[in-house]
Amino acid sequence: MVNYYKVLKVSPKASRTEIRSAYRRLARKIHPDINATSDSSSQEFSQLAKAYKVLANPQKRADYDRELLKQQYDRENGSVLSSENPHARRWRQMVYERRYNAIIDRMIAEERRESMALQRVIFPTVALFVSTTFVAIFRPTIWTNSPIIGKIIMFSLFVIGCIHLFKRLKTGFERYTYSSEDIHDSILEDTEKEEKPYTKFTAFSFLVVGFFISLGIGLIIGNYFELVINASIPSLFSPTLKPEFIFYPPIFVLCVDLMHMLALRLEN
């Protein structure tokens, strides 16, 4: 049985990012188009592709790890461990099944970390768009009608919310976006950059366009239901969108994110 970890020159504990990076780095070196004079390059590249196909897929990797562990223990312990003797079966369960479960737990933990990282970007972004829409609909005047202590509290929450939102978006940009300079540096330095799905320009454009679309939708809905809203809460509604609207989205994002983190803690 071919050891695909050795083919990719990575540890059995390697993450998917490390596996992908190792594959791209080796593929660039042994690709048949680059090593046309080498008779073994096609075979090596084919083996490399098979290794990546298995190890990059969580389910295939789990099955492969199990078979690899079984082969390892069969080889190390001979017929005693590989026999169908009840004692041997119990020993197998204590040894390689336990290691197999550890592998599965590690992969689940990795999937969970990736999911959590994505949620930390998605939740604030969605909350920003939704809050912008609602602020444009209702055009609250909480800031105007608040006493000085209320204004101080709101301004403090606004500053904290802006810092929090900036950190979340900055983390998202670092984790999921790249720039043309990154590609250029990678080519010149012959180093492997982590593969990322979006350009910085695309992500920034999405945020800006999404914000103005949310604002526009809110204004349209607010104008349509202006009489109803004004009659229901006249003390909190403004016929026009005032500059104080900038206070509310960051505060809303902060509150939503805090509730999300609290829910995750209670879930754990």
Q: Long-range contacts for 210-215 (Cβ within 8 Å, ≥24 apart)?
A: 210/125, 210/128, 210/129, 211/128, 211/129, 211/132, 213/129, 214/128, 214/129, 214/130, 214/132, 214/133, 214/136, 215/132, 215/133, 215/136
What is d(CA 20, CA 48) in angstroms, rounded to the nearest whole number? 11
Cβ-Cβ contacts under 8 Å for 167 (sequence gap 6 or more): none
Which residues, 6 or more positions from 67, have their beta carbon under 8 angstroms from its beta carbon? 1
What is the model's pLDDT at position 127? Answer: 94
Domain extent, residue 139, equals 114-267
Report the domain count for the chain: 2
- Within this chain, do residues 14 and 58 fall inside the same structural domain, yes or no? yes
Q: Do 119 and 98 belong to one domain?
A: no
pLDDT in tens, the chain (268 residues): 788 989 999 988 888 778 888 888 888 787 666 655 555 667 888 888 899 888 888 778 878 887 887 777 666 555 444 555 565 556 655 666 666 677 677 777 777 877 888 888 999 999 999 999 999 988 888 888 899 999 999 999 999 999 999 999 999 998 888 875 544 344 334 444 556 778 899 999 999 999 999 999 999 988 887 766 655 665 566 777 888 999 999 999 999 989 988 887 887 6
What per-residue confidence (pLDDT) applies to 150? 93
Give CA–CA dist 27/168, Å, rounded.
34
Q: 137 is written with which tokens? A: 């609909």
Residue 80 lies in a domain: yes
Retrieve residue 228's tokens. 């109803």
Q: Same structural domain for residues 98 and 118? A: no
pLDDT value of position 118: 87
Residues 95 and 141 in one domain: no
**Distances in Å between the alpha carbon of 75 and those of 68, 93, 96?**
11, 16, 12
Tokens linked to 245: 């609207």
Indicate whether 98 and 153 sit together in one domain.
Answer: no
CATH number where 28 lies: 1.10.287.110
| pLDDT of amino acid 185 | 43
Whether residues 91 and 129 fall in one domain? no
204 falls within a domain: yes
- Hunting for tokens 């660039």 — which residue is that? 28
78 with 133, same domain? no
pLDDT of residue 184: 39
Q: Which residues pair with 140 in a beta bridge?
A: 237
- Residue 213, in any domain of the structure: yes
Residue 118 and residue 97 share a domain: no
Q: Is the full-model pTM beyond 0.75?
A: no
Q: Are residues 97 and 120 in the same domain?
A: no
Picking from 102, 135, 159, the residue at the C-terminal end of a domain is 102
Q: Please indicate, yes or no, whether residues 191 and 255 belong to a single structural domain of this protein.
A: yes
Please give the pLDDT value at position 77.
Answer: 54
Q: What per-residue confidence (pLDDT) applies to 240?
A: 78
Instruction: Output the pLDDT for position 191.
Output: 46
Task: Establish if 109 belongs to a structural domain.
Answer: no
At residue 67, the pLDDT reads: 82
Chain centroid to CA 97: how far? 30
